[in-house]
Amino acid sequence: MKRVLGIILALSFSIATAAQAADETVGRWHIQGDKGTCSASTALGGGNLLMIFAKPPGGENNGGLMFGNPTSWKIADGPVVIELAGQGSVKGKHEGQGYADLSGYWLPFDTPTEMDSYPDAWQLKAIRDGQVLVDQPVTEFKVAVTALEACAKTPA
């Protein structure tokens, strides 16, 4: 459990301060943020984790999603191609990045509003080189997106 919490903290990109930080639970999602850098995380079945990131204040990307399994996945650092095939997700092949130290895959959003196109309930089915990495339902997504967008509007 300590390792899981460590990964969530590492993924949030910043240490939150009490005066300016978002740290709340909305449905099944944990929202964290500081000065507009915000994430929403949830546990999926089988030890899998899913995190969604809003576009950061510096605009270096459009936000994205990261998924992984810190207890059982061994991932090599570097570029990857992940196919999303789940009902309701943005389907197709997506270029991303594998992170060995986080035991997860990062898939950037193509646009800052891409997460708005997902329905409230959808299936995260991610495939790499023909192997299904995760095939889990994602629920209460719209409430997470709303909280994430509110967090991202917090002044720097």
CA distance 112 to 121: 20
Boundaries of domain holding 59: 2-152
* Counted domains in the chain: 1
pTM greater than 0.75: yes
- The pLDDT, as a whole number, for residue 5 is 33
User: Measured on CA atoms in the order 22, 1, 115, 107, is the torsion positive or negative?
Assistant: positive
- The pLDDT, as a whole number, for residue 18 is 37
- The pLDDT, as a whole number, for residue 51 is 95
The pLDDT profile of the chain, 156 residues, written as one tens digit per residue, is 334 334 443 444 333 333 345 789 999 999 999 887 899 999 998 899 999 999 888 888 899 999 999 888 899 999 999 998 887 777 888 899 999 998 999 999 988 888 888 889 988 899 998 889 999 999 999 999 999 988 888 765
